[in-house]
């Protein structure tokens, strides 16, 4: 479990040896599909991760997530909002 300042404790259902969670004291920042800025933020993260030497597979995974969120936002425009 990790902790987001806005949403509190965040539980992640999948933990792996390659990406272990560091425990409940680990801060996280949660981006939701309802947030209009999320796809752009994910793309910026992907670019920054690449610049820091991340594997191309991480960048590809992030870009797929951004596209999936954009698709969801297009399907549910009434649920998309300005970040608060």
Report the C-alpha gap between 31 and 12 in whole angstroms.
Answer: 14
Which position has the higher pLDDT, 81 or 19?
A: 81
Strands 27-28, 2-4: pairing kind:
parallel
pLDDT given at position 17: 56
Asked if 46 and 69 count as a contact pair (C-beta separation under 8 A), the reply is: no
Please choose, from the candidates 81, 48, 73, 52, the residue with its C-alpha nearest in 3D space to the C-alpha of residue 62: 48
For residue 6, pLDDT over 90 is answered with: no
7-64: pLDDT as tens digits: 777 776 665 555 655 566 677 788 999 999 999 999 999 999 999 999 999 999 999 9
H/E segment holding residue 72: helix 56-75
Q: Going along 1-84, which residue ranges are E strands? A: 2-4, 8-10, 27-28
Q: Is pTM, for the whole model, over 0.85? A: no
For residue 76, pLDDT over 80 is answered with: yes
């Amino acid at each position: 479990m990790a902790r987001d300042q806005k949403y509190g404790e965040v539980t992640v259902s999948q933990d792996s040896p390659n990406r272990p969670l560091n425990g409940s004291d680990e801060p996280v920042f949660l981006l939701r599909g309802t947030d209009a800025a999320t796809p752009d933020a994910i793309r910026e993260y992907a670019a920054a991760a690449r610049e820091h030497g991340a594997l191309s597979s991480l960048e590809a995974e992030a870009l797929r997530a951004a596209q999936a969120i954009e698709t969801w936002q297009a399907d549910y425009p009434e649920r998309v909002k300005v970040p608060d």
